[in-house]
Structure 1
Amino acid sequence: MRIAILDDYSDTLRTLPCFTKLAGHDVTVFTDHVQDAGALAERLRDIEALVLIRERTRIEAALLERLPGLRLISQFGGYPHIDVAACTRHGVVVSSELSGGGTSHGTAELTWGLLIAAARRIPQQMASLRAGGWQESVGTTLHGKTLGILGYGRIGTAVAGYATAFGLRVVVWSGEESRRRAAADGHAVAESQRALFAGSDAVSLHVKLTDATRGIVTAADLAAMAPSAILVNTSRAGLIEPGALPAALRAGRPGVAAVDVFDAEPLHDPQDPLLSLDNVVATPHIGYVTREDYERQFASAFEQIVAFAGGEPINVVNPEVLAMRQ
């Protein structure tokens, strides 16, 4: 099959052990980001299978209409960036591993990296040192503080485990079943989402972005946080009400944000409202960008291609397409 891999910014996938699964196929790797439908259609005009790196490129009807040879889209994880209905109309199978693959420890670890960096003002201390200065401020000790976790899935659970090791009290707000599991794990459960934000020294977001969760964190939630509190978001920027986080940070509640995700990605604007604030620690959506997480996720994506090529598609999101082909 003629296969294209999009948005491999660091040209990493071909160096992974799992890349050998595609041996015998004609594979093209693109390391830049293109969203324009016309430009994408030009570079993908002869492609039969498309491999996506999470949500970096949106796959919409306008693009699919120009790719009559496309037969398969393969990826790992959720697919809010894919117009599945349009894929079905155009006879394109969407395969995505959703339930397996384990926890993204890379994202859980980055959550703690960002939290510690924000609490100890590591970026500011580095900037001072590089400018010829010395200690520029006094940081905050996390031990003994309360960490609020919004969303107690695989990553939220891992973050809670790290919190216990660091000596923090964990409070959770999540779906009913997840709240029961958090309590069984020995963590406190908040009375409400608002109470979680109001009563935590730091709040970390670990909720999947869906139509139901978009904007779930409101300006009122952020305003309930203490001026000394830290908000950490390694999940998705769309979980927060549009414009609410920069406004809240300018108002001083919370006092600091540590983020790995943005409304528009890739973000190349240094004047972005979040990047222009001194009380923000930011990274360019690198939570899952580790060799270990890549190997786990793309082993799945490549296995889906092998299965499709062998006539036995797996992890099919839109099985109606298979029925149409029979």
Structure 2
Amino acid sequence: MRIAVLDDYQSAFDQLAAARRLRGDDAVAGHEVVTFTDSVTGSALVERLSGFDAVVLLQQRTPFPRSVVEGLDTLRLVSQTGRNTGHLDLEAFAECGITVCAGGAGSAATTAELTWGLVLASLRHLPEEVARLRAGQWQGSVGTSVEGKTLGVWAYGRIGSRVAEVGRAFGMDVVCWGRAGSLARAADAGFAVAGSKEEFFSSADVLTLHLPLNDGTSGIVTAGDLALMKPSALLVNTSRAGIVEPGALAAAVSAGRPGRAAVDVFEDEPVLGAADPLIGLPGITATPHLGYVEWDVLESLYSAAVDQVLAFAAGTPINLATP
């Protein structure tokens, strides 16, 4: 088969064992693989995939609405890493006779690690101080410690639980919020539970979001919630930008509540030319969706995608995603 690997920004795929299995360096597979390091959408995506039998997608980097799916003239397989298919029109794929396979999982550890990297980088002004030192200058800011401060964790799940444990190790007062099951697990682990959503937002010195994005969580963090936060507080989002009401975070930081934010996710990705308003705001520490971008995680994700391609080629598709 002729296979496209989309959005391989760092040209990482060819450095992985998964790529060698797919290309047939071990004389087993022997498929033709073409990787793309940039992102395209709409008609450009349709044109790019013309002539390919299969496409490998990394997480939710490329959306496939019906308008794109109906233009795909040769594609027979979509191999998606991870089980999240919200960016794929599964009904359109089914109607067009294109198989979608979605399987594998990333690591909670890497996103939790990045969350803490963003917390410390923001509170200790590390990006600014690194830039000052490289520019030949010395200290220009005073940082804030996390010890003794209140850490708010929304969603005590695979990632939130790790973030909470690190907060406790740093000597923070950890307070959790979320659905009933999440709060029960947090309480069982010895963490405090906020009495209300209003209390959760108003009491936190650092507040981290770890909810999945779905119909029930889209825009769940509102402008009103953010307005309750302290001027000295930091909001951190390494989950999905869509869980915050569109435009609310930029407006809130501009208004000074919260005073700072650290984000790894944006409403429209990839963000090129610093086009997102968050990036240019003082008080914002931003990274380009790096939560899962780590060698072991990429190997695991792409390995699952390659398994799906090889199974499809053998006539026994796995991890089928249906409408």
| Mapped partners of 2:74, 2:196: distance in 1 | 50
| Mapped partners of 1:227, 1:177: distance in 2 | 31
Say whether 1:72 aligns with 2:100: no
**Counterpart in the other structure of 2:90:** 84
Deviations 1:69-106 (A, max 9, x none): 22211112212211111111111222112xx6363322
**Counterpart in the other structure of 1:96:** 102
Residue pairs, 1:222-233, within 5 angstroms: 222-233=226-237
Conserved 8 A contact 1:21-1:306: no
**Counterpart in the other structure of 1:323:** none
Deviations 1:203-261 (A, max 9, x none): 11111111221101000111111111100011111111011111110111101000111
Structure 1 stretches lacking a partner, 5+ long: 321-326
**Counterpart in the other structure of 1:324:** none
- Using the TM superposition, name which of 237-246 and 172-181 deviates more: 172-181
Say whether 1:297 aligns with 2:301: yes
- Using the TM superposition, name which of 106-115 and 162-171 deviates more: 162-171
> What SS is found at the alignment partner of 1:154?
coil
* Letter matched to residue 195 of structure 1: E
Conserved 8 A contact 2:106-2:297: no
**Counterpart in the other structure of 2:143:** 139
**Counterpart in the other structure of 1:201:** 205
Count of aligned pairs:
316
> What SS is found at the alignment partner of 2:159?
helix
Residue pairs, 1:188-267, within 5 angstroms: 188-267=192-271
| Mapped partners of 1:212, 1:91: distance in 2 | 30
Say whether 1:38 aligns with 2:43: yes
Alpha-carbon deviation of 1:291?
A: 0.7
What is the TM-score when the length of structure 1 is the normalising length?
0.93
| Mapped partners of 2:196, 2:77: distance in 1 | 42
| Mapped partners of 2:310, 2:12: distance in 1 | 20
Alpha-carbon deviation of 1:194?
A: 2.6
**Counterpart in the other structure of 1:161:** 165
**Counterpart in the other structure of 1:282:** 286
| Mapped partners of 2:12, 2:109: distance in 1 | 19
Deviations 1:161-215 (A, max 9, x none): 2222222222111221121111111111112333211111111111111122110
| Mapped partners of 2:274, 2:2: distance in 1 | 37
| Mapped partners of 1:303, 1:194: distance in 2 | 46
1:106 to 93, 106, 110: 110
Say whether 1:60 aligns with 2:60: no
Distance 1:84 1:194, change over 3 A: farther
- Using the TM superposition, name which of 157-166 and 114-123 deviates more: 157-166
> What SS is found at the alignment partner of 2:152?
strand
2:318 to 305, 314, 322: 314
Deviations 1:281-315 (A, max 9, x none): 01111111111110121111111112222222222
Alpha-carbon deviation of 1:271?
A: 5.3
| Mapped partners of 1:48, 1:223: distance in 2 | 50
Deviations 1:103-139 (A, max 9, x none): 3322111100000011101112122223332211211
Conserved 8 A contact 1:216-1:241: yes
* Letter matched to residue 17 of structure 1: A
Conserved 8 A contact 1:151-1:173: yes
Say whether 1:26 aligns with 2:32: yes
**Counterpart in the other structure of 1:11:** 11
What is the TM-score when the length of structure 2 is the normalising length?
0.93
| Mapped partners of 2:198, 2:305: distance in 1 | 38
* Letter matched to residue 66 of structure 1: G
| Mapped partners of 2:35, 2:106: distance in 1 | 26
* Letter matched to residue 119 of structure 1: L
* Letter matched to residue 93 of structure 2: C
Conserved 8 A contact 2:106-2:301: no
Alpha-carbon deviation of 1:47?
A: 1.3
Q: CA RMSD in A?
A: 1.5
